[in-house]
Structure 1
Amino acid sequence: MKTVTVGERSIGGLPMGVVWGFVATLIFMAGDGLEHAWLSPYLIEKGLTVQQSATLFAVYGGVLAVASYFSGVLTEMWGPRKVMIIGMIAWLVGQVLFIQYGLKPNNYAVMLPTYGLRGLGYPLFCYSFLVWVTYRSPDRILATAVGLFWACWSGGLYVVGSFFPAFMLPKIGYIGLLWSAVIWVFVGGLVGVLVVKDDAMGQAGNGKEKLKSLISGLTICMEQPKVAIGGVVRIINSTGIGSLPIFFPLYLKSKYGFTTEQWLQVWGTMWFANIIFNLIIPYISDKWLGWRKTIMWLGSFGMGVMLLVLLYTPQIFGSSFLALNIVGIIMGIVLCGFVPLSALVASMAPEKKGSAMAIVSFGAGMSYFIAPAIVGAFIGLIGVHGVMWIFAGMYFLGTVLMHFMKVPSEERKTAKNVRLQKQARQGHTGF
C-alpha cells in the first residue's frame, strides 16, 4: 500500500523525506567504506597472516549475509526507523570496540566478534530504508527512486569511501580514518532516523505470516530452480570483485611498488565509472541485448576476462599507474552487466517476487563471506595468480549458468524455432 501525502513537498516527485534519506545513505555508506580497500593489507603489515585477515572478513561477511536476508521482514514487522536505529547502534558499538580493544592492542580474538557485530550495521540501516522508499515513492518513479538509492549506496561505499582515505591517510593515518568513520556513520544515521517515519508501512499480515513469507525465500529455490541459479550468479557477481581489497593491494605494493593511496584511487575510479555506466548499461540491455545476454556476456564473461587483465597488466606495463586506472575503469563498466539480474530473477517468480528478491539479497550478502573464505583457503597454496584464476573461473561459470536463465518469452521463442526447424526438416524429407 502506497502512502504518499497529498501536497507534501517533493523534488522530482520524490518526497523530501526520501531525498534526505538518500543523502543519509551516502553519508552512512561513506563511513562504512572508509577502510574496506586498505584494512586487510594494514592488518597483515601489523602481523596477521593473510588467512587470519581473510577469516576476519569472512566472519563479517557471514553476519552481513544474515542481516541482509532478515532486513526486509524485520522492517515490515517493526517499521523502518527501529531497524535503522538497531543497525546504526550495532555499527557504532562494533566500530568503537573494534578500534579500541581489537585493533590498537592487535588483539585478534577481540577483532573477530567486534568486526562481526559491525556487519549488522549497514544491511539493517540501508536495506530497511530501501523498503521504506518502495512504500513512499509514487509508482511512476519507483524505478528511479530505487536507482538513486543504489547510486548513493555505491557512491558512499566505493567512491567517497576510496577517495577520502586516499586524500586523508597521509594527514590523519589509519586509526584516525577509522575514528572519522564513526562521525560519518553517526551523522548519516542521525539524518536517516530523523527523516524516516514508520507511517508508510504495509500492515497486511501478522508477524507469523511475515516470518512464513521470509522462510518461503528458501523454499522458492526448490519450487523455482532458476531463482536458485540467479542467487548463485548474484554471489559470483560480488565475490570476485569483493575479494580484491583483501589481498591484491598488498600484492601490488610488494611486487610493483604501488602505494596504498594509489590503490585507493584506482579502486575509487573504477567505482566512479561503474556508477556512471549503471545509468547507461540498463538502457542498452532493455533496448538491444536483453537482460540475460547482458548478464551473461558483459557481466559474467566480461568480468572473468577483466580479472585476468588486471592480474597481468602490472607484469606487462610494470608500475604504470595509468595502465592500472584504465583497466579499473573498464572493469567498472563491465561490472554493470550484472545490473539486470534483480529484474531477471524477479521475472522467474512473478507471484513471489518478494521471496525471489530475498534470495538475491542473500546472495549479495553471502559474497562477503565466500570471497574472503576462498582467499584464506587458497592463497597459501596457489598464491595470488591461482586465486585470481579461481575468481575468473567463477565468472566464467556464471556465463554458463546464465544459459539456463531464459525468461518465459525466450523459452517460447526457442521452442517455436525448434518446431519450425523440425517442420522444415520434415517438409524437406517429404519432398
Structure 2
Amino acid sequence: MSVTTSIHSDGPKAQGFIEKIGIPKPLVWGFVGLLLFMIGDGVESGYIAPFLADNGAGGETNAAVIITVYGLMVTLGSWLSGALSDVWGPRRVMIIGLTLWAVLQVLFLAVALPTENFTLMLVIYGLRGVAYPLFAYGFLVWVLGASPANRLGSAVGWFYFAFTGGLPTLGSLVASGTVPFIGPYWTFWVALSLVVLGGIFALVGLRNAQGGGRQAAPHITTGRSLIDSVAIAFTNPRVGLGCLVRVINTAPQFGLFVFFPTIFAVDLGFGTSGWLQLVFILGASNIFANLFFGVLSDRLGWHRTLRWFGCIGSAVAVLAFYFLPQYVGDQYWVSALCAAFFGITLAGFTPISVLMSLMAPAQKGNSIAVLNLGAGAATFVGPGIVALFLAPLGAGGVTIIFAVLYVLAGISVRWLQVPDEAQRVVEEGGTLQAFAGDPAATTGSAKTQG
C-alpha cells in the first residue's frame, strides 16, 4: 500500500499569519534578506554583457568569455554550497558567500574596471560567481533542515519566490530605474549596497534560529563531505535519479532559448522586443507559481505535484509553446499564454528540492549539492541537445525530444522514495535536524505515492 509523502499538520491551531502562509517564523528574516541579496545580485543581469564589451573587455567575444567563466563559477559555488553546509554549517557558508561577493565587487569596481584590464576582469568577476550560490543555497540547506517536515513544500516555495523574484526580475527593475539617472557604473555600487543590506538582514535575523550549525556527523571532514557530495549520487541511486530529474527540469528551457528567438522574432514576426517580452512573461509567471506549487504540494503531495504539474505539465506546455503559435500565426496573445503556461509548469518541479532532502535527510547538504550540479548541468545539456538534433530533426523534432524527456521524468518520480524514518518525521511534524550527524538513520525501506 502506497503512502503519501504529505501529511497535514496537527500542530497548534493558533498560528500566526507568517506560519499560515507557509513561512517558518524563525526563518522569516532570512527570506527577506535573501530577496534583498538576490535583487542586488540581479541588478546587472540585463546590461552586464554590453557594459563589459564597451569598458575594457575588448568586444563582445571577450565579454562572453568573462560571463561564461562566471557561469562556470556559479555552478561550482552551487555544488560547494551544499557540501560545505554539511560540515561548516549553513550560517558560516552564507557569511563566506556574502563576504566574497562584497570584497570581489569592490575589487571589480575599484581596480578591474578603472584599469580596463581584461585579465583582472576575467579573474575577479569570474570568481564572484562562486559567491551568490554560497549565500543563497546555504540558506536553502538551512530552510530544509529547520522547517517543519510537513511544510517543506511551502518553505521551499517561498525560497524560490525570493530567489527568482530578485534574480533577475526585481533586480532588472531596479537597474531600469537607476541606470538612466546615475549610469551603469554607479548602479553596480547600488547593487553592492543591496547585497550587503540583504546579507545583514538575513544573518542578524537568523542569529537565534536553529539549523545554522554543522549538519554532518563529527567524524566527517571537509574533504570527505566534498567526495560524498558526488558519491551520494551513486551510493544512493534515488538521489542520483533526483539529480537527473533536476537536469530535465530546466534543460529544455535553456535549449529553447537557443532557437526560439529566431522562431518568434523572425519567423512569426514579433521582433526581438516581442520575444524578450515572452521571456519576461515566462519568468514572471514562474515566480508566483513557485510559491503556489510549494504550498499546494504540502496538501496534494510532493510526488503528485512533481509528476503531474511539473513533469507531465511541462511536456504539454513545451509542445504548446512551439506548435500552437505555429498554427495560429501572428496571434501574439497565444504565444504569451503559452509562455506563461510553460513558466507555471516549470514551477511544478519545486518539490524536487524537498524530496532530495528527505531521501537522504542525514546528508541534506550533499543532496542539495547533487541537486545544484543537476541545475548547472541543465545549462549545458539543453543547448547540447539542440546542437545535436536541430539540423537533422528541425525545431519541431527537438521540441518533441524535450517533451519526451519530461514524460520520462514523470515516470521516474515513482522511484524517488522517502525512507520510513524520514516519513515518520513528516507525519509527526518534526524537522530534519533529527537526522543531523546520523547517516545510518535512513538505511531502512522507503515509501512513495505510487
Q: TM-score, normalised by structure 2?
A: 0.68
Deviation at 1:218, TM superposition (A): 2.2
Q: Find out whether 1:270 has 2:279 as its counterpart.
A: no
Deviation at 1:335, TM superposition (A): 1.4
Q: Find out whether 1:291 has 2:306 as its counterpart.
A: yes
Give the aligned partner of residue 27 of structure 2: 18
Q: Find out whether 1:114 has 2:120 as its counterpart.
A: no
Give the aligned partner of residue 40 of structure 2: 31
For 1:389 and 1:41, locate their aligned partners in 2 and report how far apart those are by CA, in whole Å. 33
Distance 1:15 1:174, change over 3 A: same
Distance 1:98 1:330, change over 3 A: farther
- The 8 Å contact of residues 348 and 407 in structure 1, kept in 2 or not, is answered as no
Q: Find out whether 1:340 has 2:351 as its counterpart.
A: yes
Give the aligned partner of residue 182 of structure 1: 192
Q: Find out whether 1:232 has 2:238 as its counterpart.
A: no
Is the partner of 2:45 in helix, strand or coil?
coil
- The 8 Å contact of residues 319 and 400 in structure 2, kept in 1 or not, is answered as yes
Deviation at 1:161, TM superposition (A): 2.3
For 1:107 and 1:207, locate their aligned partners in 2 and report how far apart those are by CA, in whole Å. 45
Question: 1:219 pairs with 213, 217, 231, which one?
Answer: 231
Return 221-230 or 35-44, whichever deviates more: 35-44
For 1:180 and 1:251, locate their aligned partners in 2 and report how far apart those are by CA, in whole Å. 37
For 2:115 and 2:261, locate their aligned partners in 1 and report how far apart those are by CA, in whole Å. 24
Is the partner of 1:317 in helix, strand or coil?
coil
What is the CA deviation profile of residues 208-252 of structure 1, one whole-angstrom value per residue up to 9, with x for unaligned ones?
356534433322332344532331331232344357789977998
What is the CA deviation profile of residues 268-305 of structure 1, one whole-angstrom value per residue up to 9, with x for unaligned ones?
44323112223444637639955334433213x24543
Give the aligned partner of residue 317 of structure 1: 330
Return 39-48 or 116-125, whichever deviates more: 39-48
Larger Rg: 1
Give the aligned partner of residue 424 of structure 1: none
Is the partner of 1:129 in helix, strand or coil?
helix
Is the partner of 2:44 in helix, strand or coil?
coil
Q: Find out whether 1:154 has 2:169 as its counterpart.
A: no
Question: 2:342 pairs with 309, 331, 352, which one?
Answer: 331
Q: Find out whether 1:363 has 2:374 as its counterpart.
A: yes
Question: 2:70 pairs with 60, 71, 80, which one?
Answer: 60
Please list every run of 5 or more consecutive structure 1 residues that lacks an aligned counterpart in the other structure. 1-8, 410-416, 418-431
What is the CA deviation profile of residues 8-64 of structure 1, one whole-angstrom value per residue up to 9, with x for unaligned ones?
x98635676521111110010011112324434665688313xx5554333222222
For 2:371 and 2:33, locate their aligned partners in 1 and report how far apart those are by CA, in whole Å. 24
- The 8 Å contact of residues 355 and 416 in structure 2, kept in 1 or not, is answered as no
Give the aligned partner of residue 433 of structure 2: none
Question: 1:308 pairs with 314, 319, 322, which one?
Answer: 322
Give the aligned partner of residue 10 of structure 2: none
Give the aligned residue type for 1:60.
Y
Is the partner of 2:31 in helix, strand or coil?
helix
Give the aligned partner of residue 400 of structure 1: 408
Give the aligned residue type for 2:414.
K
- The 8 Å contact of residues 220 and 227 in structure 1, kept in 2 or not, is answered as yes
Give the aligned residue type for 1:27.
L
Give the aligned partner of residue 5 of structure 2: none
- The 8 Å contact of residues 241 and 416 in structure 2, kept in 1 or not, is answered as no
For 1:309 and 1:145, locate their aligned partners in 2 and report how far apart those are by CA, in whole Å. 35
For 1:105 and 1:188, locate their aligned partners in 2 and report how far apart those are by CA, in whole Å. 29
* Residues 55-134 of structure 1 mapped to structure 2, 5 A cutoff: 55-99=65-109, 107-134=117-144
- The 8 Å contact of residues 65 and 369 in structure 1, kept in 2 or not, is answered as no
- The 8 Å contact of residues 345 and 356 in structure 1, kept in 2 or not, is answered as yes
Cα RMSD between the aligned structures?
4.6
Give the aligned residue type for 1:12.
I
Please list every run of 5 or more consecutive structure 2 residues that lacks an aligned counterpart in the other structure. 1-14, 418-449
- The 8 Å contact of residues 88 and 122 in structure 1, kept in 2 or not, is answered as yes
Deviation at 1:67, TM superposition (A): 1.7
Is the partner of 1:35 in helix, strand or coil?
helix
Question: 1:192 pairs with 202, 209, 213, which one?
Answer: 202
For 1:103 and 1:352, locate their aligned partners in 2 and report how far apart those are by CA, in whole Å. 41
- The 8 Å contact of residues 278 and 339 in structure 2, kept in 1 or not, is answered as yes
Deviation at 1:141, TM superposition (A): 4.4
Give the aligned residue type for 1:365.
G
For 1:40 and 1:31, locate their aligned partners in 2 and report how far apart those are by CA, in whole Å. 17
Q: TM-score, normalised by structure 1?
A: 0.71
Is the partner of 1:161 in helix, strand or coil?
helix
* Residues 407-426 of structure 1 mapped to structure 2, 5 A cutoff: 407=415
Distance 1:340 1:240, change over 3 A: same
Identity %: 32
For 1:278 and 1:297, locate their aligned partners in 2 and report how far apart those are by CA, in whole Å. 16
Deviation at 1:71, TM superposition (A): 1.6
For 1:408 and 1:72, locate their aligned partners in 2 and report how far apart those are by CA, in whole Å. 20
